[in-house]
Amino acid sequence: MSELSSSFFLATRHGPVARLSMNRPEKANGMTPDFWTELPRLLAELETDESVRAVILSGEGRHFTGGMDLAAFGSIAALFEQEPGRAAYALRDKIMQLQDAFTAIECARFPVIAAIHGACIGGGIDMISACDMRLATSNAYFSIEEINIGMTADVGTLQRLPKIIAPAIVAELAYTGRRFSAEDARGYGLLSQLCETREQLMAETLALAEQISTKSPLAIAGVKRNLSYSRDHGVADGLDYMATWNAGMLRAEDLMNAVQASMAKKEAVFSDLLSENSLAI
């Protein structure tokens, strides 16, 4: 992986696993304008590196993230002084740009795992809802904070979270903005694992990402694509899509590697996907 430059994220590499850590600890990793442009850019750059097989999203300092840094978005406040119709059009366009930053997580070919400690509020919920898996420390806490500042959560929580946990629970959390614990979040099905310390969290998340990275990257891409498709479509459509996917993507090389490795009681080794450079004409 070529070195990734970012003013908001600390990017590191652990073999086939890349880690993007929000690096604004003095402000609880509040999401400035740089966050919203750099997250999709970094994910797009990682997409072009065929050796990347999983990504971890984390935060430096005491907290995962305090959500959107509203103070950094003076341009949005200025819109309310403009002609109402044009201001509404511009605001809608801005909201959709912000939504795209988290859709990039969902559309990435590789799994994206959230490692959460401390606070995860507001935009943090929107972000982790777009991730494939979520682990947290036992002292982490969460809140759909937008209702407490007089607005409706608008960059993914209300659309994705009801597909992860019970809609009635989402409704209560969204209407009240109440803080809920990591234990609550695990009970709701939002988290797959709790860890006692941040160090343990990062170790467990890295171990999970590394385990995933040993699998066929083509099969992993298929799992991600089909999970997303099935979430938004009926069973019959999902089965049809799955059949079409495997008809086109299932290959003897990966199957034979897996079978032979299993018979020899060894770890299978799978080829990377093709890089963007290999397709250049």
For residues 213 and 54, give the distance between their C-alpha atoms in angstroms, rounded to a whole number.
Answer: 6
Average pLDDT, the chain: 92
Query: What does pTM read for this prediction?
Result: 0.92
278: left (phi over 0), alpha (psi -120 to 50) or beta: alpha
Task: State the pLDDT confidence band at 1, using cuts at 50, 70 and 90.
Answer: very low
- 248: Cα within 13 Å, side-chain hemisphere: 7
CA atoms within 13 A on the CB side of 68: 24
Point out the least confidently predicted range of 77-91, 115-129, 152-166: 77-91
| Domain ranges, ordered by start, for the chain | 9-213, 217-279
What residues form DSSP beta bridges with 208?
Answer: none
Residue 251 binned pLDDT confidence (cut-offs 50, 70, 90) = confident
pLDDT value, residue 58:
98
> What whole-number distance in Å separates Cα of residue 31 and Cα of residue 124?
9
Tell me if 116 sits within 8 A of 137, measured CB to CB.
Answer: yes
At residue 278, the pLDDT reads 59
Q: When comparing pLDDT for 276 and 48, which is higher? A: 48
217-279 belongs to which CATH class? mainly alpha
The token pair at 79 is 């819109």
Q: What is the pLDDT of residue 80?
A: 81
State yes or no: pLDDT of 247 exceeds 60.
yes
The Cα–Cα gap between 82 and 86 comes to: 7
**Confidence category of residue 249, pLDDT binned at 50, 70, 90:** confident
Pairing outcome for strands 112-116 and 9-14: unpaired
Rounded-to-integer distance, Cα 266 and Cα 281, Å: 38
- Architecture per CATH, domain 9-213, reads as Alpha-Beta Complex (3.90)
